[in-house]
Structure formats: structure tokens, C-alpha cells
Amino acid sequence: MRTDSFPGTLPAREHLPAADAGTPVLDVVIPVHNEEKDLQPCVRRLHAHLTRTFPYAFRITIADNASTDATWLVAARLAREIPEVGAHHLPEKGRGRALRAVWSASDAPVLAYMDADLSTDLNALLPLVAPLISGHSDLAIGSRLSRTSRVVRGPRREVISRAYNLILRGSLRARFSDAQCGFKAIRRDVARVLLPLVEDTGWFFDTELLVLAERAGLRIHEVPVDWVDDPDSTVRIVRTALEDLRGVWRIGRALATGSLPLDRLTRPFGDDPRDRELTGVPGGLARRLVGFCVVGAASTLFYLLLYSLGRRFCGAQTANALALLVSAMANTAANRRFTFGVRGRRGAVRHQAQGLVVLGIGLALTSGSLAALDAAADSPAHSTELAVLVAANLAATVLRFLLLRAWVFPDHGAHRQPYPAQVRAGDAADGHREDAAPRTRPARPHDSTPGDTR
């Protein structure tokens, strides 16, 4: 995962304003590799469809990644003949590399891509990008696995596609239905924040993008599509599947270790007037309370189990101290990760030390309760001890939450954008384009030699 360059938090989603006729709102990228036969009819068909149906200005960008046939010649000729068509040539192969390069350089507020074979029905293009233009969603994907989709393809591809998406659901808890459909769109401001975090440069690129976006809490819109398999596709299914599985393992490991700064990919509320009245309300309080209660219930059961086991070998005070020590460390770690969303190892030792101070307060309460019970009754029953301990832990719960929130994890996420968020889309990331993006060479109508790739 790329974590060295981070553009910052996302601005509030806004409906894109009506642009001038010459300013493209949508940039549709067609990544190609050795597509000399299909490229021209594909681009002309897409251009005719957008001219007839799309209400905004648009651009079609051909991203040729290391073709060895006449694909670049065809792309350059189309760029000269059609004003809305541009072409970029990359010396290295990789669909993800091509998308990263063109999307990073594009000035259109909505970026999309589709495969050169146009397997997806173009009538789904406007429904795909409309939620991004309106500000409703951050990303949009075409889904061949929706109940209302109509798909024509062989059983082998069908089984592989469904198995792959089941793997994503089971291993990465993905909720989107179709990661591999070559028909996706993203807002430019979102792309500028997410692209530096995406490592893959091949077929796993868009899956990685979707997983990171979903884990960051961004909104992904799905559009059912009609899709017809291209029998002449040159995609190596087995090799691509193995690379995808390696990508799933890499992403899963990064998410498990907390090495991705996804907690910084915040998205403020929209422009609803009711949102502007929330300036005095701490963000995420309800979610943190729920998380704290769940972690507290689990750690209490863990504590009682440890106490019951320790009580067989030592006295009540010693068993209580040992059980409280172990369960408190587990409680601090769990609250750190799940309640307050702190990831990575930074500050973990300090948090555990502060958690031990909170433990001291809990120890004083529970030990004092046991001492009071021993003073009130000789040899109290084990069930009575447990009841007293439960009451003491419940009494300490509110104080523990306040200490964790105000002292151990004070204002975590204070870097997030306050309400109201009056940042225009695309402004937050200006000046933060990724330096490592592959260099591209645009084809211009006045280029004298179509085949010149110097």
C-alpha cells in the first residue's frame, strides 16, 4: 500500500455546476493493449452515443499501454479526426497503470472507464455517472450480478466471476456485488485522494480501489447492466485470477495491520441546512457508545471467566487483580481499534499505559467492593462475589468511557473537516497530484506524424 503521499480529507459532495460548452464534465477512458481492430468502431460508437444522449460536454481518452501493433496509430488518427477524443501513450503495460496516469492528469470532474470491446450496454452510462454528477455518490460501478442484469457469457467465466466476488465478501467483507466489470466511474476529487493509496497497476487495480473506498465509508452506487461476453477477449483468466488472489491477500494483510490511513478519508455531510446546526455535537458519539458497549460486554465476560479460573488457585483479591489486568489490556486494545478507530502501532504503548491507569481506577472500585463484602459477611458465596463485581464494573463503565474518550484517545479524528464544510469539489487536493504517476504523452490534432512515439 502507498501511504507516503496523502492529499488530505475529502470535500463535501456537491452537485456539479453547469459547465461551459467546451469544458468536459465526463472523461471516459478506454485502456487498450493491441486493440487495432476493435478500437476505431468502439470509439466511434461511443462518441455517437454520447453526442446523442449525454447532456454535458464530454471527452473520450484512449489510453494505449505498450501496444505492439498499430493501436497507437489508430488512436492518434482518431484524436485528430474527432475533437472530443484524446489519446495517451504509455510505454508500460497495465490497465491500472493506464487509468492512474489518465485520471491523475484529467481536468474533468467525473472520470469513467470501459473496456474497448464495449461488452456493456451503453444505455447504462448515463445512470452510471448521474449519481456522481448530482453529488449523491463517490464511485459508481456496473454490476453483472444484479438480479435485474442481463448477461450472456460462458459458464467458465460465470463461475470464476461469482467465486471471485464470494472470496471478496468472505475475506475482505466487501459489500459491492461485482468487482471485475469493466464499467466504472469516480469523482475526480475522490480519485485524487484514493489513487495514491492504490498499489496495483494491473487488473486488480479497480478491485483495490473499491475495497479502499468502501472501507473508508465512501458511497458506491451500483447500476445493473446488460453485458455480452466478448469471445475474442485476450484476458488470461487463470493468470489474472492468481494475481487477484495475491492482491486480496495483500489488501487483507494491510487492513488487518492497520497500515492504511483510511480513517483520514472522511466525508462531511452535505448541504442540508439541518447539518449546519450540528456544530456542537461531537462526531461519531453514538457509534462510539455502541462500540464501547459491545467491547465492554465482551471484556466483562472475559474478565469473569479469568476471575473464575483464577479463584481456584488463589485468593479473591489476587484473582481479581490478575483478571482485571489481562482483561483491561484486551479492552484497551479493542476500544483503540474498534471504538475509536485508531490503527497502526503508533502510540500503542502510550495508550496501554494510560489504559493501565484506568485499570487502577477500576481495580480500586472492584477491590473496594470485595473488601466491603468481606467486612459485611464471613466467607461470602462465590455467586455473591460475582454479583458484587458485576455491579462494581457497571459503576466503573461510564467513568471508563469518559476517561478513554477524553484522555486516552482525546478527540481522535480532530483533523476531520468541521461542519459546515464549505469546500468546493476538487479544491482540497489541488497541488497534491501523485509524483510517481507514469508519464504520458498526449496526442494533439496538430501532431505531424501519427506513429511518432518519441
Determine the Cα–Cα distance for residues 49 and 226; give it in Å rounded to an integer. Answer: 16
Please, what is the end-to-end C-alpha distance for the chain in angstroms?
32
What is the arithmetic mean of pLDDT over 426-451?
Answer: 41
Asked if the model's pLDDT at residue 52 lies above 90, the reply is yes
Determine the Cα–Cα distance for residues 228 and 225; give it in Å rounded to an integer. Answer: 10
Closest CA to 307 of 295, 324, 293: 324
**Contacts by residues 124-130 (CB-CB < 8 Å, ≥ 24 positions apart):** 124/183, 124/223, 124/224, 124/225, 124/226, 125/28, 125/49, 125/50, 125/53, 125/54, 126/53, 126/54, 127/223, 128/183, 128/184, 128/185, 128/221, 128/223, 129/26, 129/185
HSE of 39, CA atoms in CB hemisphere, 13 A: 27
Q: Decide the pairing of beta strands 85-90 and 58-65.
A: parallel
Per DSSP (E only), the strands in 237-319 are none
Give the contacts of 352 (CB within 8 A, at least 6 positions apart).
329, 332, 333
206 part of the active site: yes
| Per-residue pLDDT tens digits for 258-301 | 777 776 565 554 444 434 444 444 445 666 777 788 888 888 88
> How many Cβ atoms from other residues are within 10 Å of residue 422's Cβ?
12
> How many Cβ atoms from other residues are within 10 Å of residue 242's Cβ?
11
- Length, in residues, of the chain: 454
Residues 133-150 as b/e (b if ≥16 CB within 10 A, e otherwise) read bebebbbbbbbbbeeebe
What SS3 class is residue 321?
helix
Query: Per the confidence metrics, is the pTM higher than 0.85?
Result: no
Asked if the model's pLDDT at residue 257 lies above 70, the reply is yes
Residue pair 288/29 in contact by the 8 Å Cβ criterion:
no
Determine the Cα–Cα distance for residues 374 and 369; give it in Å rounded to an integer. Answer: 9
> How many Cβ atoms from other residues are within 10 Å of residue 435's Cβ?
8
Give the contacts of 373 (CB within 8 A, at least 6 positions apart).
380, 384, 385, 388
Q: Which residue has the higher pLDDT, 202 or 260?
A: 202
What SS3 class is residue 231?
coil
Q: What grid cell was written down for 219?
A: 458511497
Q: Residue 210: its pLDDT value, please?
A: 94
Virtual CA dihedral for 4, 7, 10, 16, nearest 10 degrees? -140
Determine the Cα–Cα distance for residues 143 and 140; give it in Å rounded to an integer. Answer: 10
Least confident stretch, 82-86, 178-182, 189-193, 337-341:
337-341
The DSSP call for residue 210 is: H
- Helical (H) or strand (E) element with 223: strand 220-224
User: pLDDT exceeding 70 applies to what percent of the chain?
Assistant: 79
Asked if the model's pLDDT at residue 168 lies above 60, the reply is yes
Split at pLDDT 50, 70, 90, the class of 163 is: confident
Determine the Cα–Cα distance for residues 132 and 218; give it in Å rounded to an integer. Answer: 12
- Helical (H) or strand (E) element with 384: helix 382-403
- Helical (H) or strand (E) element with 61: strand 58-65
Q: What grid cell was written down for 333?
A: 486494545
Least confident stretch, 76-90, 120-134, 168-182, 379-393:
379-393
> What's the chain's average pLDDT?
79
Determine the Cα–Cα distance for residues 89 and 2; give it in Å rounded to an integer. Answer: 24
Q: Classify the phi-psi angles of 374: left when phi > 0, otherwise alpha if psi is within -120 to 50, otherwise beta.
A: alpha
Determine the Cα–Cα distance for residues 253 and 259; give it in Å rounded to an integer. Answer: 9
The residue type found at 136 is H
Place of cell 448541504: 271
Least confident stretch, 31-35, 108-112, 358-362:
358-362
Per DSSP (E only), the strands in 148-219 are 150-152, 183-187
The DSSP call for residue 17 is: P
Virtual CA dihedral for 102, 108, 110, 113, nearest 10 degrees? -30
Asked if the model's pLDDT at residue 431 lies above 80, the reply is no
Place of cell 456542537: 280
The pair phi, psi for residue 226, each rounded to 5°, is -95, 130
| Per-residue pLDDT tens digits for 386-428 | 888 788 777 777 777 778 877 888 755 443 433 333 333 333 3
Determine the Cα–Cα distance for residues 212 and 1; give it in Å rounded to an integer. Answer: 10
Find the catalytic residue in 38, 64, 206, 244. Answer: 206
> How many Cβ atoms from other residues are within 10 Å of residue 314's Cβ?
12
Q: Residue 108: its pLDDT value, please?
A: 95
Determine the Cα–Cα distance for residues 192 and 426; give it in Å rounded to an integer. Answer: 9
- The C-alpha R_g of the chain, in whole angstroms, comes to 28
